[in-house]
Amino acid sequence: MNKAQLNRRQFLSTTLAAAAVTSVAGLTTIKAQDNTSTALPDPFKRKIKLGVVGNGGRGGWIAKLFQQHGGYEMHAVADYFQEVADQCGDALGVDKARRFATLSGYKKLLASGVEAVVLEVPPYFFPEQATAAVEAGLHVYMAKPVAVDVPGALAILAAGQQATTKQCCFMVDYQLPTEPANIEIRKRIHAESFGKICQIQTTAISHGFSDPPQTTNLESRLRHLIWTNDIAMGCDYIGNYDIHAIDAALWVMGQRPVAAIGSSRICRPQPHGDSHDVCSVLFEYADGLVHNHFGQGLKDQSESELSCRVYSSDGNALIAYNGKVQLHSFDDGYGGTVKNLYETGVVRNIATFYKNVTGGHFENETVPRAVDGVLTCVLGREAAARRTRLTMDELLKENKKLEVDLTGLKS
């Protein structure tokens, strides 16, 4: 890591935390400057030159969805592993001269003539890569979680604000809020007939992630989601998987919690990473709302689940990533089924990203909530690991940066 990169990290850690309380709280939408266009263009009015960083499982899969959309020219790819970049490049028809590798490969991709970049790498790398992309004047489409710690989250917030100033799109790919049935339930939750919201329960159950023994350097953990088992690389299980359900709660409530208390542990057999795969967290909100979160990532035959249940004085509602969703109250009722959201949600977001880029819509409203989602998960992660009550203000003041040992990796 060079001196300039270190200086950037020092700057972010000392200046962005001071602005966090006012700039993130309330999930405020950033408005574009001098943006008067409201009409969307006809489909595929032009091709957007696209680069994809991170070409493994999900990265290669999502790259094909961008290609299938029809509005993108697959211009460049980059991955730490050259063979992975080549495999993805072959599938997309990308010229061999624009297939880049090693940790710094993304820099060559950003300079290759792309207009927009898709980031599908371990979250530890997101703040640096997204900031560089925005500084280069590119549109950004990225996965979640957008960071693994407070300084990283605040760096993404700053990048989102800078993108709006530069008239660039910056989109975070959450699928659950794109589902029409979930959107309808959220609307009815805020209707007068549903009553006062009293309590939220979020649940995240997965089958966990492979966690093989560590080797002499980090290279062996950069593939197949193994990095999810390392807190500094993937933000812990609560930040990498559970965040879908927690984001749903923030989406419903339009606010983030002010404190958390809980407990967590490692229960998977023969763990080699430090991520906690079981947690129970109670989040507190400024208005008194109670939010219970349960997370579990174990191969115990439990059925996978990502859900948010909302209880009010007059009813209850369920929004989810898959399966049945519903709302019941004294004066209202609604139900639906969510199917294949993992793909359909991405397809919707890819289409929205194209419309925003070509239509000049630079509000970038997914960024503040994505940042609040990471901060909420980090708050829950730290409170549960320490088994104590921790406030958001205390977390922001700590401004703790997680570091990863990149010794021995191809730079």
Percentage of the chain beyond pLDDT 70 is 90
- State the maximum Cα–Cα separation within the chain, in Å, rounded to a whole number: 63
Report the mean per-residue pLDDT for the chain: 91
Q: Is the pLDDT at 22 greater than 70, yes or no?
A: no
Q: Does pLDDT of 21 surpass 90? A: no
Q: What fold is seen in the domain 45-174+348-363?
A: Rossmann fold (3.40.50)
Q: Place 43 in a pLDDT band, splitting at 50, 70 and 90.
A: low
Of the pLDDT bands very low, low, confident and very high (cuts 50, 70, 90), residue 403 is very high
Per-residue pLDDT averaged across 74-95, rounded?
Answer: 98
| Residue 4 pLDDT exceeds 70 | no
Residue holding tokens 């492979």?
A: 210
Q: What percentage of the chain reaches a pLDDT higher than 90? A: 88
Helices then strands, each counted (H, E), the chain: 13, 15
Q: Which residue has the higher pLDDT, 339 or 12?
A: 339
- Mean pLDDT computed over 329-336: 95
What's the pLDDT at 1? 43
Instruction: Give the integer Cα–Cα distance in Å for 33 and 256.
Output: 27
CB-CB contact of 368 with 157 (8 Å): yes
pLDDT band at 345 (very low <50, low <70, confident <90, very high): very high
Predicted pLDDT at 45 = 76
Q: Where are the domains of the chain?
A: 45-174+348-363, 176-342+374-398
Residues 301, 352: Cα–Cα separation, whole Å: 36
pLDDT at 42: 55
Find tokens 């957008």 and name the residue.
Answer: 146
Place of tokens 């007068």: 192
CA distances from 149 to 11, 17, 123, 154, 232 (A): 15, 11, 10, 9, 8
DSSP annotation of 281 reads E
pLDDT value of position 300: 86
- Please give the distance of CA 398 from its chain centroid, rounded to a whole number: 22
Backbone angles phi, psi at 173, to 5 degrees: -85, 80
How confident is the model over 213-241, as pLDDT tens digits? 999 999 999 999 999 999 999 999 999 99
CATH 3.30.1310.10 is right for the domain spanning 176-342+374-398? no
